[in-house]
Structure 1
């Protein structure tokens, strides 16, 4: 069984890099939908509710599929599961690029979510298997930096190719990139057996343990509340900035480039800081600070581009900064023998609640006759309340290692 004690530092870094590459591609596939929002709404002539369904369809399918397979993850070798899921994700992303209409794209997003949604659970399970808790904050920060790279390189590039050709192009390019990563994973990733111990528990015993453990339940609740605090706001950032603040589609990539650039460094710094100062403390500080940009970004009037970028940069730093220690806390709260199943169920809850958040915000936010979005400020207030609840829950969790 692979562990942190028999991996050389170089092999450990290489494994983290491979996992970060997987995170980069599947995060980019998800986050790319949101800045493409204005284009997709115009191309398909759809409103806010139809667009939110495109976003939430991925997360709902990811959550439901994660629930179905979650209890089986600890019964199979990690690399084999990862290769199967990542192959399906790559095919789903290609299907998105081939979609000729709204209905086909919706089905392709569901397919991509079925396979892509569980990838996070597997990657973080591997981190939990090979990295000891005292260094897991830094490793988590490295994986979370994949979001920053996706924002700095992936989203601006995707928007550029969407402008150069059309919205199909980013998905074709992403599918090709995922295929290359898939080959490297198949060749270089080590085989990692789950830490189930000498006796494999029966399925129903695993179900009972994973769902009824009090510490697991607190971790599930923390993830649910954090996703509601984020994904009620995030899906409509790009449409709101374009339709309400006067930002153009050509300027929109700057939001993701600048936000991603700073969080690429801040997420790794936050990871090291949480290892040194304590993950609950760092999580609390960043979560409380994040309330300010969350509310601000949902009520921005027409302002100068520099003001918009200042608010969005602070938003990215603080929201990403609270996720890094929270994920390390959640991973550490699991019983090591059920870590794979726990992380799969946690990922299921993550996707279902983020999908619910996107769906709810689509019901609350409406389009005015002049094309502007209304009621986004109420979404920001809801996200702020959820953040305060998340801080309370996070400080009640127990870490097992």
Structure 2
């Protein structure tokens, strides 16, 4: 892999370190709220008598509502202080998650997931806009490496603890845990985080809808949108039925699920900072390519296995998720460099919206492919989802290559002699 810079990346201030930590914790709660559905899937399907096709709507309800919220708010995303936006949508997310913790029927759970998605689906785009506003381009890989550790942390701590609580009490307990933690994070943001409003002086569009149209009509931005859409689809194909596949096809006991998620998340937690540093020092696309190759190989093996020993399942999960996360960090870091500063909020909102909607479509599609004779029978056609995911990975690779070339054209030339660290991307 070729190095893209000769100077060392700039260091972080104390406030920047706080900002990275609070954004990572915030992402942890939002990701855990979404991710916990998969390991709880088998318990939910049995407790509420939900067949696979209807359970896919529990997953996609969040995704579709998050996508709709992203599109509706995209035009306004650059017209307000990002801190205030973050607090507003995080408060709504907490209410939706509380509804999940109190729901006792399938319809109520579905409504609660819609509310959680309407607010939670916008938080990721606001966080990315804050990262792009507050950190130089050669810091963003490390920032995204830490923030994306929220995914791994949700598996190391969140999902095992959630499954323990669900096994000890019932499936409502994990959502109530998320609510309690989210309230503490919300308080920290309110008291410590500074306003993020420098972008307000750069606005030229007279109204929100004009700003939205200005954002979605740019060809360069459309390339980024397409790449991020396909980045999300592969995961949404496989994720909803992950626990049901392990329990009913691979014959893993429900009590062993926490250990699988713990080992997978711990390995990802170790590798994420390394991936972040590598993406700042070397070609982000080269790193994305390596991660895609690992993900493709392990997905094809994993989705075709039958009853297997626990050690093999853990090994495959660890390698597969390391490959997947090696795709997410460099691709997301590249994507933050696509929009101009005045368009970042809208661009990130549209990106998040498109990812959620396309992911929701993928989840519904997966539910139509998967069949099951009864709640204790093996899932049929899970390997078909693996083949489709592989094709999506390849297409995404081509699109991220186009994004990397676009970003490279907009960066200043690499200095031939020692020079001060590059502070920002030439917009």
TM-score of the two chains, using structure 1 as the length reference = 0.96
Provide the residue aligned with 1:30 in structure 2.
34
1:110 lines up with 2:114 in the alignment:
yes
Gaps of 5+ in 1: 1-6
1:388 to 376, 379, 394: 394
- Summarize the alignment of residues 257-272 of structure 1 with structure 2, pairs less than 5 Å apart: 257-272=262-277
The CA distance in 1 between the partners of 2:360 and 2:273, in whole Å, is 27
1:207 lines up with 2:212 in the alignment:
yes
- Per-residue deviation, 1:328: 0.4
Contact kept in structure 2, 1:233 and 1:380, CA below 8 Å: yes
1:126 to 124, 130, 136: 130
- Per-residue deviation, 1:160: 0.2
Judged with a 3 Å threshold, the aligned counterparts in structure 2 of structure 1 residues 172 and 198 are, in CA distance, closer, same or farther, namely: closer
TM-score of the two chains, using structure 2 as the length reference = 0.90
The CA distance in 2 between the partners of 1:230 and 1:198, in whole Å, is 36
Provide the residue aligned with 2:250 in structure 1.
245
1:184 lines up with 2:188 in the alignment:
yes
Gaps of 5+ in 2: 1-10, 411-424
Provide the residue aligned with 2:90 in structure 1.
86
Judged with a 3 Å threshold, the aligned counterparts in structure 2 of structure 1 residues 143 and 198 are, in CA distance, closer, same or farther, namely: closer
1:136 to 140, 146, 167: 140
The CA distance in 1 between the partners of 2:145 and 2:12, in whole Å, is 20
- Per-residue deviation, 1:194: 4.7
The CA distance in 2 between the partners of 1:95 and 1:229, in whole Å, is 29
- Per-residue deviation, 1:230: 1.6
The CA distance in 2 between the partners of 1:284 and 1:131, in whole Å, is 25
1:320-356 Cα offsets, whole Å, 9 max, x none, are 1100000001111112110000000000011111111
The CA distance in 2 between the partners of 1:79 and 1:98, in whole Å, is 29
- Summarize the alignment of residues 300-319 of structure 1 with structure 2, pairs less than 5 Å apart: 300-319=305-324
Aligned residues: 396
RMSD between aligned alpha carbons?
1.4
The CA distance in 1 between the partners of 2:300 and 2:194, in whole Å, is 44
Contact kept in structure 1, 2:267 and 2:322, CA below 8 Å: yes
Judged with a 3 Å threshold, the aligned counterparts in structure 2 of structure 1 residues 198 and 113 are, in CA distance, closer, same or farther, namely: closer
The CA distance in 1 between the partners of 2:314 and 2:99, in whole Å, is 33
The CA distance in 2 between the partners of 1:18 and 1:12, in whole Å, is 10
- Per-residue deviation, 1:277: 0.8
Contact kept in structure 1, 2:90 and 2:119, CA below 8 Å: yes
The CA distance in 1 between the partners of 2:22 and 2:62, in whole Å, is 23
The CA distance in 2 between the partners of 1:52 and 1:199, in whole Å, is 40
Judged with a 3 Å threshold, the aligned counterparts in structure 2 of structure 1 residues 198 and 273 are, in CA distance, closer, same or farther, namely: closer
- Summarize the alignment of residues 337-376 of structure 1 with structure 2, pairs less than 5 Å apart: 337-368=342-373, 371-376=377-382
